[in-house]
Amino acid sequence: MANHKSAIKRIRSNEKRRVLNKYQHKTTRNAIKALRDVTKKKEAEKLTSGVFNMIDKLAKKNIIHSNKAANLKSGLQSFVNAL
């Protein structure tokens, strides 16, 4: 167990960040799945910008690696173009 006041505070703040990061990551994954389930090109194009924004935010906050974000966006764009 932590002995210093700052270490105790760091444990609390890390837990808050962990929960928030988990929520944001799961929400983005669900949005990606929803985009992949769409069968109409118009609907997919509407959802694409929102999903890309979510992915970019995760990469900016280092929740996911920037290369992974680029790969996800590339794959999703290929999927939308193929519709």
- φ and ψ at 35, to 5 degrees? -65, -40
How many domains is the chain partitioned into structurally?
1
Which distant-in-sequence residues (6+ apart) come within 8 Å of 83 by Cβ?
38, 39, 40, 41, 44
CATH number at residue 76: 1.20.58.110
What b/e readout covers 34-70, taking b as 16+ CB neighbours within 10 angstroms?
ebeebeeeeebeebbeebbebbeebbeeebbeeeebe
pLDDT tens per residue, range 14-59: 999 999 999 999 999 999 999 999 999 999 999 999 999 999 999 9
Residue range(s) defining the domain that contains residue 76: 5-82
Q: Which DSSP state fits 25?
A: H
Total residue count of the chain as it appears in this document: 83
pTM of the model: 0.84
